[in-house]
Amino acid sequence: MHANTSATKHHPNTQSANYIRLNKWISNAGVCSRREADELIQNGRITVNGALVTTLGYQVHSTDTVRYKNKVLTPKKNVYILLNKCKNCITTNSDPENRKTVLDFVKGACSERIYPIGRLDRNTTGLLVLTNDGELAHKLSHPSYEIKKLYQVTLATGITAKSLTAIEAGVQLEDGMVRVDNISIVDGDPTKLGIMLHSGKNRVVRRLFEALGYQILALDRVMYADLTKKNLPRGKWRYLTQQEIYKLQQQVSASRTGNKGKKRLLAATHNKQNQH
């Protein structure tokens, strides 16, 4: 049993540039969100200078040693950038063919090494988040967190009612079934569609329409999570606000909690059925 001997070393209300809240330290180290860090603290998973700390709001000094799973946590400056990607630009950190990459558009934005979350193919335009926050990047990319993306699709020929019904019912691709959250015709023009989905499959929108015999002329991601292209011209970038970062963290936290609830409900239903 660890003693909570360090809990009184620094007063929780200490006001100094050298002190920060323990949950912020953990979050800045890239372990998890601040809310999840509070859970780790309450559950006795964090030590400061070798002593267990379970006090929420506890302040740590810049010289303290914070450990989780016996690993020293070192805070880093996390950077979050939103880019409105251009066409003919690839989503990668470098390219052996010296083609323009998304990182070329954010040169000088920060000294930290950032990377894009997920991918947009060369000819797809729209929203892309770049960061050095590995924990958040993993959660935003993983299908189990069901992060929604909204695309505007321009087709070479107008979509039929039959195809719309097929997409709404789900389309079987070679790597599994794809179900959309919503699809609608934009401004009464059957060649222009808005489609929302949370699938993490590679090139999923293009492959979905190709499977039904349609050619995509333009594909633009206009929303990612709750982020939009408002006041962000094509080829430009900006830093995410603290509120936007917090909302992203809340989304992945709420999504994961919801998915766990769904799994528990499915398991309980399955067990109940087996009892009859």
Partner residues linked to 224 by β-bridges: 149, 227
Please provide the CATH number assigned to the domain covering 77-146+229-254. Answer: 3.30.70.580
Q: How confident is the model at residue 16 (pLDDT cuts 50, 70, 90)?
A: low
pLDDT at residue number 228: 96
Task: Name 147's Cβ contacts closer than 8 Å, sequence gap at least 6.
Answer: 140, 198, 224, 225, 251, 252, 255
Residues 233-260: what's their mean pLDDT? 84
121 is catalytic: yes
Choice among 121, 175, 181, 189 that is catalytic: 121
**pLDDT tens per residue, range 18-33:** 788 999 899 878 788 7
Give the separation between CA 80 and CA 82, rounded to whole angstroms: 7
Res 267 pLDDT > 80? no
The better pLDDT of the pair 74, 264 is held by 74
Query: Could you tell me the fold of the domain covering 5-72?
Result: 3.10.290
Q: What's the burial of 107, exposed, middle or buried (CB within 10 Å: 0-12/13-18/19+)?
A: exposed
Q: How confident is the model at residue 96 (pLDDT cuts 50, 70, 90)?
A: confident
pLDDT at residue number 167: 97
- Joined together, the tokens standing for residue 95 give 């390219």
Res 91 pLDDT > 50? yes
Residues 51-66: what's their mean pLDDT? 92
What is the pTM assigned to this prediction?
A: 0.70
Residues 225-233: what's their mean pLDDT? 95
Nearest CA-CA partner of 207 in 168, 172, 169: 172
The better pLDDT of the pair 239, 199 is held by 239
Q: Whole-number mean pLDDT of the chain?
A: 86
CATH architecture observed for domain 148-224:
2-Layer Sandwich (3.30)
Residues 49-59: what's their mean pLDDT? 94
Per-residue 3-state assignment (H helix, E strand, C coil) for the chain: CCCCHHHHCCCCCCCCCCEEEHHHHHHHCCCCCHHHHHHHHHCCCEEECCEECCCCCCEEECCCCEEECCEECCCCCCCEEEEEECCCCECCCCCCCCCCEHHHHCCCCCCCCCEECCCCCCCCEEEEEEECCHHHHHHHHCHHHCCCEEEEEEECCCCCHHHHHHHHHCEEECCEEECCCEEEEECCEEEEEEEEECCCCCCHHHHHHHHCCCCEEEEEEEEECCEECCCCCCCCEEECCHHHHHHHHHHHHHHHHHHHHHHHHHHHHHHHHHHC
Inter-axis angle of helices 134-141 and 242-275, nearest 10 = 50
pLDDT at residue number 87: 94
Phi, psi at 95, each rounded to 5°: -140, 125
pLDDT at residue number 12: 47
pLDDT at residue number 62: 84
Res 74 pLDDT > 90? no
What is each CA distance from 263 to 12, 77, 180, 269, 274, in whole angstroms? 38, 35, 20, 10, 16
Give the separation between CA 217 and CA 234, rounded to whole angstroms: 17
Domains 5-72 and 148-224 share a fold: no
Res 75 pLDDT > 90? no
**pLDDT tens per residue, range 31-46:** 887 889 999 999 999 9
In the chain, where the domains are located: 5-72, 77-146+229-254, 148-224
What share of the chain in percent tops pLDDT 90? 61
pLDDT at residue number 2: 45
pLDDT at residue number 259: 57
**pLDDT tens per residue, range 127-173:** 999 998 888 898 998 888 889 999 999 999 999 999 999 999 999 99
Partner residues linked to 228 by β-bridges: 223
Residues 58-84: what's their mean pLDDT? 91
